[in-house]
Amino acid sequence: MSISIPSEEPPFDLNGWRSRIPLCRKLVMMHNCSQTPQCDYTRMAAERYLESWNTAGMDWDAWTDEVAAARHEFARLINADPDEVAVSTSVSEATGSLVSGLPQDGRRKIVTTGAEFPGVAHTLVAHTRYGLELSWVPLQPDGTIRLEDYDDVIDDDTLLVSATHAFYQSGYVQDIAAIAAKAHAHGAMVYVDAYQTAGVVPIDVKAMGIDFLATGNLKWLFGIPGVAFIYVKRDLTERLHPALTGWFGRTDAFAFNPRLLDWHPTAQRLETGTWPVAAAYVARAGLQIIRQVGVGNIRSWTQRLSAQLIEGGRARGLRLYGTDDVERKTPVCAFVCPGDSHRAETLMKKADVMVSARGSVIRLAPHFYNTPEEVEIALDRLADVYASPELAASTPRP
């Protein structure tokens, strides 16, 4: 396939944003699928929390408002209402709360895919102890999932289809609206892990027919570890009774009645313990950055950079894992590593280029603040590292 790379400028102030991300002066950062860098705005948010803690000692009124504002901002990103969003601490935890709370109405089957992130898949596997059965849609050798393969496994016994929006390794984006339609035709619900898409691929839970969706914030959303969000479609809230719960999932967290297990009337029933307040400050600021730049603008600019990565990788003899169709992928471009990918990541870092190793590949994952010049630098360094004797002496990961 030949790829045309549009040369136009991005529809936002690229240099202005770069000046607000101090690390841009030192490093080429292509590891945004693992961790986005610090921006002056997210740093200020973290400092606001530290200041509040230092001056007020404890200010739960302000902290509660901040968590509510982060919930609101996340809801906006995915076209949900704030009361359809629960605050969690990781996607693994959010998945545990959801799956432990699924209705026990006779259906026992969960359909998932070979592309799920292990933290999600392991949670599903763990629940087979409690009577759920798992069916897998296979991952294809080229890092994609075939839509028609869902037809072989979704049936009238299916309770939930758990489909990652994008495969973390290849960046392959699944057609969630089509998967949801297949699930709903059999009366099953759909759960989407959007960690690899939120912020860089448009998400509209209503238009896509999504029932549940979770993401954390440290990857594309300019946040830090410790906070995650899970969306629950309003009509489904009352069907969930999570066993992975805590006092923040109660109607009144401050009722302090250990024998009363009631359920918050909104998605908040999926919450567990004390909110991750400090991380929520940063999450809100990171989400605001994404809103200011605009997901549509981010999508078009990163598709332009991905096309350049694919073309440039091919010209340098690097082998792409996954599709080369930028419409079907996140900004992630994964190149098969001839040696130990972790070693390659370290060698790249020594050469001032941040990349992200996963299994047998190195992922180059540009965000809106990256430039075409940085793409060329990253590709040149990767080609050098892949050809280096140091890497040749190491063993490739499976």
- Binding residues vs ligand PLP (CB under 6 A): 90-92, 117, 119-120, 164, 168, 193, 195-196, 216, 228
Evaluate whether 77 touches 203 at the Cβ level (below 8 Å).
yes
Nearest distance from C-beta of residue 198 to ligand PLP, angstroms:
10
Residue (174 or 266) nearer to ligand PLP, CB: 174
Nearest distance from C-beta of residue 168 to ligand PLP, angstroms:
4
Nearest distance from C-beta of residue 8 to ligand PLP, angstroms:
30
Residue (220 or 301) nearer to ligand PLP, CB: 220
Whose structure tokens read 């999600």?
A: 120
Beta-bridged to residue 381, according to DSSP, are none
Separation CA 198–CA 80 (nearest Å): 13
Nearest distance from C-beta of residue 290 to ligand PLP, angstroms:
17
Separation CA 172–CA 197 (nearest Å): 10
Separation CA 1–CA 244 (nearest Å): 47
Nearest distance from C-beta of residue 143 to ligand PLP, angstroms:
14
Residue (173 or 290) nearer to ligand PLP, CB: 173
Residue (82 or 119) nearer to ligand PLP, CB: 119
Evaluate whether 176 touches 148 at the Cβ level (below 8 Å).
no
Nearest distance from C-beta of residue 1 to ligand PLP, angstroms:
26
- List Cβ neighbours of 200 (8 Å cut-off, separation of 6 or more): 220, 295, 298, 299, 302, 330, 331, 367
Return left, alpha or beta for 394; rule: phi > 0 is left, psi -120 to 50 is alpha, else beta: beta
Long-range CB pairs of 56-59 (<8 Å, 24+ gap) are none
Separation CA 203–CA 201 (nearest Å): 6
Nearest distance from C-beta of residue 312 to ligand PLP, angstroms:
24
Residue (195 or 248) nearer to ligand PLP, CB: 195
Residue (198 or 305) nearer to ligand PLP, CB: 198
∠ at Cα 82 (81, 87), nearest 5°?
135
Residue (168 or 191) nearer to ligand PLP, CB: 168
